[in-house]
Each structure stands twice: as C-alpha cells, then as structure tokens.
C-alpha cells in the first residue's frame, strides 16, 4: 500500500518517482480526475476517449470513445462508474455542452444543454448531486444530475473558473481582472458574500482548488503564475511564477494534507513547495514535456501528471508499491 497521507514529509515528497506510464493516447490529455473515495482515475483526451483507471494496481479498466461530441473537461460524480464530460464538437448546433455518462455500460444518461461555447471549468459538489460548469460564453451554470434543465446561471466577464470547497458549502468563481467571488452554495442567488482580488496580476485565473481543510485556495493563471490565498480573508500566503508554456495550460495541486503544492511548468519540470515555509522541496523532470494535467490522489501518497502521456508518481522507496505497480510498464488493460 502507499504511505498514509498523515506521513507526508519533505523526504517522502522528494522521493516521488514515476511508477507507471500509459502512452497509448492519440493526442493530448485534456483533463483528469480522481474519485473522492474509490481508487479510480478518469481521463478525457484529444482522441475523443474517456478512460477509467484502477490507481491501486495501475491498470486501465475501460475505454469509451465519443466521436460525435468529443471529450474535454471531465469529473467523477459520486458513483464510481459515472462521470460528467464536456463536449468539443456540435456545441452550436445541438447545445449539448455536457453529458452525464455511465462508464459501466457506455451510455449517456443525460444531456445538459445551455452553454454555446467550450466549457473550461467543471466540478462536482462533494455533498449532493449539484455540479457547476464555467464556459467561454462568459457564464457559470449550476446543474443537478437528476434534472435536464439548468438550475442557475451567473453571467460574468472573462473566462470563468469554478470550484466547490471540500464541505460543499461554498463555491468560488474566478473572473476577469483576478477577482474571486465566493458564494453560499445554498443561496447563491443572493450574490457573492465575499470578493478577493489577486493584486497586481491581470491574467485570467484558469483553475481554482480548495485545500481539503478549506483554509486555502490555489489559483493558477493563464500566464503560469500560481497563488495560495487564505480562503477566509483572501490574503496571499505565497505566489510563484513558472516558465511560460504558450498554448498549453498548466495545472497545480495541493497535497491532501494541504502542506504542499505541486505544479507543472513550461520548462517540462514539476516543482513542489512547502506552503508553510514557502521553500521549494523538490524539482523533477516530468519526462512527458509540459504536464497540462496534474492532480494528487485524495487518499494516497500518489499523484498523476499528463500531457499526451499519463504518468503515476509514487514514493520510490516503497518496495511493496514498486512490486504492486510492476515497475514503469503499466498494464494496458482491455
């Protein structure tokens, strides 16, 4: 088994190395997501595939292809074999911007119509069947998995990024000019209860994440600046500028204990910082170019990084894990 998350320290983080590689994608991987409770990862990629992985055994469980709509942003629902996926094609003609998919029997359970342009941010509520999507049509829509119709809409300027906190009580929306607006998820129609400004950075925020303890927010901008904000007061706890990656967005992620932050870079490296000390703890070569997707597993000492190749990173001093993963040649599965 992997090391428990309470044991994450500088030495264990520094020891992280590639434990499995999946290189049979037909193009860039657009997004990845871990299931909150099960040892599963899902990917959406340029080859119109959605792929489901067992992360405990580094095994591909299922691949489905979606040639009509394509695949772009993806996230798990609460069910381990159901996902929400945004569309790349036919948006203007069908309006079918989001689909609720069953990986178990490769069925579309529901279409969600509304967005007229590409969805660039997608997240599921951790406590109920609500989910949110942010689109280049300058809107954020709130949905319910059980209902076709949009439940709420927020119109805003610029490219929106959305995230729920880990308790599902608050959601954040980033918009033009570095403004982060916080809403009560039960009464968002009353407007934001707080607004933070990332001072001095006019780049658009392309990703928001809350730490598991709800105390911090992680912002990634389109010009590869990364900020950690206090989630209560909005004060900037730390900020880092990474090498530019023209045409390729990067992603940053908290460790589940909220102590560390990992980010990709335009230089093809990945860096880790201690949020408390603001010091760099490790810097690795990604071996896959610029990693456009990067997420740490919710319950394991493991993270996934992806470009057109998917890699699983694990502590390389765990001999049991190396045996479990079988080195770097991962099993391709069906």
pLDDT at 327: 41
CB distance 274 to 260 below 8 Å: yes
- Given the candidates 3.40.50.720, 3.40.50.2000, 2.130.10.10, 3.10.129.10, the CATH classification of the domain at 10-316 is 2.130.10.10
**Nearest to residue 309, comparing CAs of 45, 82, 7, 10?**
45
The domains of the chain are located at 10-316
The predicted-structure confidence for 3-16, as pLDDT tens digits, reads as follows 455 579 999 999 99
The predicted-structure confidence for 207-226, as pLDDT tens digits, reads as follows 999 999 999 999 998 889 99
pLDDT at 188: 93
pLDDT at 326: 39
pLDDT at 199: 66
Distance between CA atoms of residues 128 and 115, nearest Å: 22
- 3-state helix, strand, coil split of the chain in percent (to 5) is 5, 50, 45
Over the chain, what HEC string results? Answer: CCCCHHHCCHHHHHCEEEEEEECCCCCCEEEEEECCCCCEEEEEECCCEEEEEECCCCEEEEEEECCCCCCCCEEECCCCCEEEEECCCCHHHHCEEEEEEECCCCEEEEEEECCCCCEEEEEECCCCCEEEEEECCCEEEEEECCEEEEEEEEECCCCCEEEECCCCCEEEEEEHHHEEEEEECCCHHHCCCEEEECCCCCCCEEEEEECCCCCEEEEEECCCEEEEEECCCCCEEEEEECCCCCCCCCCEEECCCCCEEEEECCCCEEEEEECCCCCEEEEEECCCCCCCEEEECCCCCCEEEECCCEEEEEECCCHHHHHHHCCCECECCC
Spans of the chain below 50 pLDDT = 1-3, 319-334
CB distance 169 to 193 below 8 Å: no
pLDDT at 286: 96
């Amino acid at each position: 088994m992997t090391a428990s998350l309470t044991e994450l320290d500088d030495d264990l983080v520094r020891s992280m190395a590639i434990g499995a590689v999946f290189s049979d994608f037909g193009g860039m991987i657009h997004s990845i997501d871990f299931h909150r409770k099960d040892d599963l990862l899902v990917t959406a990629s340029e080859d119109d595939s959605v792929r489901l992985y067992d992360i405990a055994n580094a095994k591909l469980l299922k691949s489905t292809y979606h040639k009509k709509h394509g695949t772009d942003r993806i996230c798990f629902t609460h069910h381990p074999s159901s996902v929400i996926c945004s569309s790349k094609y036919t948006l203007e003609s069908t309006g079918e911007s989001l689909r609720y998919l069953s990986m178990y029997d490769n069925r579309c359970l529901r279409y969600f119509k509304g967005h007229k342009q590409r969805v660039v941010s997608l997240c599921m509520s951790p406590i109920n069947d609500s989910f949110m999507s942010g689109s280049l049509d300058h809107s954020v829509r709130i949905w319910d998995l059980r209902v076709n119709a949009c439940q709420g809409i927020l119109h805003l300027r610029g490219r929106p990024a959305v995230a729920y906190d880990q308790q599902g009580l608050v959601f954040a929306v980033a918009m033009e000019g570095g403004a982060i607006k916080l809403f009560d998820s039960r009464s968002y129609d009353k407007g934001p209860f707080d607004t933070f400004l990332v001072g001095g950075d006019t780049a658009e925020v392309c990703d928001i994440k809350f730490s598991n303890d709800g105390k911090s927010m992680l912002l990634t901008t389109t010009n590869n600046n990364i900020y950690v904000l206090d989630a209560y007061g909005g004060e900037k706890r730390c900020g880092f500028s990474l090498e530019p990656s023209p045409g390729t967005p990067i992603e940053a992620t908290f460790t589940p204990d909220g102590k560390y932050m990992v980010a990709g870079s335009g230089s093809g490296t990945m860096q880790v910082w201690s949020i408390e000390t603001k010091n760099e703890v490790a810097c690795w070569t990604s071996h896959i170019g610029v990693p456009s997707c990067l997420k740490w597993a919710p319950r394991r000492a493991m993270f996934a990084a992806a470009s057109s190749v998917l890699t699983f990173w694990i502590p390389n001093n765990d001999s049991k894990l190396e045996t479990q993963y079988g080195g770097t040649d991962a099993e391709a599965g069906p």
